[in-house]
Structure formats: structure tokens, C-alpha cells
Amino acid sequence: MRTVNIGELKNQLSSYLQYVKNGEEIVIRDRSVPVARILPFRQGAEWDHEVELVASGALKMPEEAMDWDQFFSMPAGNVSQETAVEAAIESRGDR
């Protein structure tokens, strides 16, 4: 992963885009504070749909990969069956 300040990125955009084309990630800094990333573009139908959703503001891409092992190892909550049923019914709304 490479990092670059905004001024240098503006002056050398083509060379940094070449790094991205080669699969590298670029972190953009404003006065040495990270503010954005440039990532290589992935191809595929699912990815194309995600790009459209991100562009419309309906989706924000995750900042890091999901740790599924940690997620499923979390203990279940102590919610009564009655409370769980009420929550499920309430979440349905007026269908």
C-alpha cells in the first residue's frame, strides 16, 4: 500500500493510477492525515451493482473485511421468547 499527499497526487496522477492498475491500493493524505483510498476496480455483475449503489449514496462499502469466525462466536443475547416474538411482529410493519 502506498500513501501520497494531495499535492503530489495532483502532480503525478498518471503514475499513481498505474500503481492502482497494477493492483496496489493508494491512501491519500491531507497534511499527512489519511482522508481517502484509491482501490483497483473489480469486474463482475455483483460488483457493477455495488458501484451503482455506492454512486447513488444508497450503499457504503465496508472499510475492512468481515471476521465471520468472530461474529459467529459471539454469545447469544438474553432476550425472552416473548420479547423476540414482539420484535419480529413489530418489524413487519403494516404488510
| Residues 4-24 pLDDT 10s | 999 999 999 999 999 999 888
Mean pLDDT along residues 78-83: 82
Helix (H, G, I), strand (E, B) or coil at 23: coil
So what's the pLDDT on residue 74? Answer: 65
What the chain holds in terms of domains, given with CATH numbers, is: 2-92 (3.40.1620.10)
Report d(CA 13, CA 9) in Å as an integer: 5
**Three cell numbers, residue 36:** 481517502
The more confidently predicted of residues 23 and 45 is: 23
Indicate if the pLDDT at residue 46 is higher than 80.
no
Ordered alpha helix ranges (H), 1-95: 6-11, 13-21, 45-56, 68-73, 81-92
So what's the pLDDT on residue 29? Answer: 94
So what's the pLDDT on residue 70? Answer: 79
